[in-house]
Chains A and B, each alone.
Chain A
Amino acid sequence: GAVVSQHPSRVICKSGTSVKIECRSLDFQATTMFWYRQFPKKSLMLMATSNEGSKATYEQGVEKDKFLINHASLTLSTLTVTSAHPEDSSFYICSARRGGGGDTEAFFGQGTRLTVV
């Protein structure tokens, strides 16, 4: 299957600092990428949809000023957690769709374990 690479896999940061997570589609172009958050033993919660060359669409309840998303190219989207606090500690996962249609495969990155101390 297609490869989506997410980096870093783990990060520990101090409260008040910002952290950037990268998501790359390695062997296909992704016009749309998705960012999810997952709590222990829970399902994936969609945070936002990232569209190349335009502003991200955030789900209800997700603070766009705290979770900055940039999709500067067809193979790279980034999520920046700004002024991180312990409650932002979580598993963040990105996903990229191979094509533009709603019925195309979505592939996931390895996830990033963020711990804010």
Chain B
Amino acid sequence: GENVEQHPSTLSVQEGDSAVIKCTYSDSASNYFPWYKQELGKGPQLIIDIRSNVGEKKDQRIAVTLNKTAKHFSLHITETQPEDSAVYFCAATVPYNQGGKLIFGQGTELSVKP
């Protein structure tokens, strides 16, 4: 089945710097890759996603890149702010005929220092 690896597990940056989180997946049939932000005691919030027919997607300070050949995708946050501090999860979707379920990475705890 699908396996998603996420790195780093913790990331500390200064306010205004960029943060990059990387994920790899194993199932070449996976076709949807969302990123979630989770604050303490809350459910994950979808922040950006990318589908397999696209190589890059950007939404203001957040961007995601996908390399299907290498089976890896990354989250880029520019001009980080203290409110970006949270745990970020990447995920990959198992094909619909296998249930369409989301398989999550291990998470990255991002800390943005003022």
Where the two chains meet, the residues of A that have a C-beta atom closer than 8 Å to any C-beta of B are 1, 4, 6, 32, 34, 41-44, 46, 49, 57, 93, 95, 97, 100-111, 113
CB pair B36–A32 under 8 Å, yes or no, is no
CB-CB under 8 A from A41, the residues of chain B are 109
Please report which residues of chain B, range 39-96, place their CB below 8 angstroms from some CB of chain A when the two chains form the complex: 41-46, 49, 51-52, 89, 93-96
* Nearest CB on B from A91, distance (A): 8
Where the two chains meet, the residues of B that have a C-beta atom closer than 8 Å to any C-beta of A are 31-32, 34, 36, 41-46, 49, 51-52, 89, 93-96, 99-107, 109
Task: Give the number of residue pairs across the A-B interface with Cβ within 8 Å.
Answer: 63
Are A108 and B44 CB-contacts (below 8 A) given A46-B101, A103-B51?
A: yes
CB pair A43–B106 under 8 Å, yes or no, is yes
Residue of B nearest to A106 (CB): B102
CB-CB under 8 A from A6, the residues of chain B are 43
